[in-house]
């Protein structure tokens, strides 16, 4: 299995009373993995996150062998060994996440169970902490036509297939104390309203590129959907819909420069000067750490090491949290530009996960909440 169950689906949508709250309409697995990598600390990733079927890949392989052994010996004229030496060394291709997922499914006869908090997919479920009543929640999941993005397997093994036997949606219900119920009834009967705020996630991707100087107009956003954080990653062609490939590993493509243009302003304003061959990517690695450190307790440890970033997860974080006043209104384009060391003849795609401001007004008619 891959490092997320979201490879089983092509889209997920959350609605309340028929109104769409948030949706991921493509590459749900990529969006889920990017969010996990930027939010989970290392200790959380190695412990509690396993209940969410999160076993982070540590290599771009399907190897579950941690060590390799080599035996050498001196032989007699008859060919019988008289001295033998065995050396055990770390296997550089060992993938800790793959090994954990393989062991879990192998030991259970192929069965698995996982709990996926909606807060790991939707900003609304993460940011909004309000009691709601009279609201019918629905979760729509579109099953993938194949399991090519849900399964990672080694060459020479049988083609895998996933059968979902049960899906359940669990929502918390509150039982109010007498005092709290009285206060809530007064609010309901008073025809009050409130505005809730959250950062909605949006997944975008490009068609195939081969050029060494890609320019991608990601999307056009209005001032009511102001982007706050943009995460961009490259991926070579051939990784998707193939069980022999890992569709949630990203590639450096030997990028030298990356930048984002929003509202006519370039982020960053100075050259990035990346060189993966010489391990010179500390600046872009720091961009990701800036977000991770703000979003979680940095004392618990960050999930991606410097080596991890350059090997399996080169994700570029563009921080648009603090924007100039002149950018506060109007419709603006979000554009990504990059310079690679050379063209990629086999082609590649670019993903962008955007976290943008959203608001919603909650009002009451005395019987139920109205969302708009």
pLDDT at 298: 44
Q: What mean pLDDT comes out for the span 27-40?
A: 95
Q: What mean pLDDT comes out for the span 297-303?
A: 59
CB 303 within 8 A of CB 45: yes
pLDDT at 300: 55
Does the structure show a pLDDT above 80 at 186?
yes
Tell me: the pLDDT tens digits for 111-134? 989 999 999 999 999 999 988 888
Tell me: the pLDDT tens digits for 307-330? 999 999 999 999 998 876 555 566
Residue 188 φ/ψ, nearest 5 degrees: -65, -50
Does the structure show a pLDDT above 90 at 185?
no
CB 24 within 8 A of CB 300: no
SS3 29: helix
Residue 244 φ/ψ, nearest 5 degrees: -85, 0
Does the structure show a pLDDT above 70 at 365?
yes
Q: What mean pLDDT comes out for the span 339-343?
A: 97
pLDDT at 80: 63
Does the structure show a pLDDT above 60 at 301?
no
Radius of gyration of the chain from its Cα atoms, rounded to whole angstroms? 24
pLDDT at 133: 84
pTM comes to 0.91
Least confident of 86-90, 156-160, 231-235: 86-90
Q: What mean pLDDT comes out for the span 198-224?
A: 91
DSSP state of 63: B
CB 57 within 8 A of CB 100: no
Token pair, residue 118, equals: 């909606």
Q: How far apart are CA 257 and CA 341, in angstroms?
A: 9
**Beta pairing partners, 9:** 143
Q: What mean pLDDT comes out for the span 73-82?
A: 64
Q: How far apart are CA 25 and CA 198, in angstroms?
A: 19
Pairing state between β 332-340 and 255-262: antiparallel
Does the structure show a pLDDT above 80 at 293?
no
Structure-token match 């899906």, residue found:
167
DSSP string, 282-324: HHHHHHHHHHHHHHS-GGG-BS--HHHHHHT---EEEE-SS--
**pLDDT band, residue 295 (cuts 50/70/90):** low
Least confident of 12-26, 277-291, 319-333, 349-363: 319-333
pLDDT at 325: 55
**Beta pairing partners, 20:** 15
Q: How far apart are CA 34 and CA 313, in angstroms?
A: 9
Q: Where on the phi/psi map is residue 194: left (φ > 0), alpha (ψ -120 to 50), or beta?
A: beta
What is the residue-averaged pLDDT of the chain?
A: 89
Tell me: the pLDDT tens digits for 247-264? 999 999 999 999 999 988
Q: What mean pLDDT comes out for the span 137-151?
A: 95
Token pair, residue 16, equals: 């309340």
């Amino acid at each position: 299995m891959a490092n997320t169950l979201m490879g089983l689906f092509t889209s997920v949508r959350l609605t309340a009373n028929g109104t769409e709250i948030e949706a991921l309409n493509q590459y749900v697995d990529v969006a889920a993995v990017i969010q996990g990598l930027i939010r989970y600390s290392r200790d959380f990733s190695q412990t509690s996150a396993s209940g969410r079927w999160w076993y982070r890949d540590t290599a771009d392989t399907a190897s579950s062998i941690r060590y390799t052994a080599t035996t050498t010996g001196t032989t007699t004229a008859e060919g019988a060994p008289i001295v033998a030496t065995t050396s055990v060394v770390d296997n550089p291709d060992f993938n800790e996440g793959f090994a954990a997922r393989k062991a879990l499914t192998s030991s259970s006869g192929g069965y698995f169970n996982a709990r996926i908090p909606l807060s790991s997919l939707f900003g609304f479920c993460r940011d909004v902490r309000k009691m709601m009543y009279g609201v019918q929640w629905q979760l729509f999941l579109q099953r993938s036509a194949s399991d090519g993005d849900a399964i990672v397997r080694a060459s020479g093994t049988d083609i895998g297939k996933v059968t979902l036997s049960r899906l359940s949606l669990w929502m918390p219900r509150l039982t109010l104390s007498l005092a709290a119920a009285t206060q809530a009834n007064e609010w309901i009967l008073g025809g009050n309203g409130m505005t809730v705020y959250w950062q909605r996630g949006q997944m975008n991707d490009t068609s195939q590129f081969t050029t060494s100087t890609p320019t991608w107009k990601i999307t056009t956003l209005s001032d009511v959907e102001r982007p706050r954080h943009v995460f961009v990653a490259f991926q070579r062609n051939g990784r998707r819909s193939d069980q022999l490939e890992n569709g949630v590993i990203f590639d450096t493509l030997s990028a030298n420069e990356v930048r984002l243009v929003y509202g006519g302003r370039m982020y960053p304003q100075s050259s990035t000067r990346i060189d993966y061959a010489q391990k010179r990517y500390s600046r872009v690695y720091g961009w990701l750490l800036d977000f991770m450190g703000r979003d979680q307790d940095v004392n618990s440890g960050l999930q991606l090491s410097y080596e991890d970033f350059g090997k399996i997860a080169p994700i570029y974080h563009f921080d648009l949290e603090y924007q100039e006043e002149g950018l506060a209104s109007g419709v603006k384009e979000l554009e990504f530009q990059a310079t690679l060391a050379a063209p990629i003849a086999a082609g590649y795609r670019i993903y962008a996960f955007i976290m943008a401001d959203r608001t919603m007004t909650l009002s009451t008619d005395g019987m139920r909440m109205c969302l708009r």
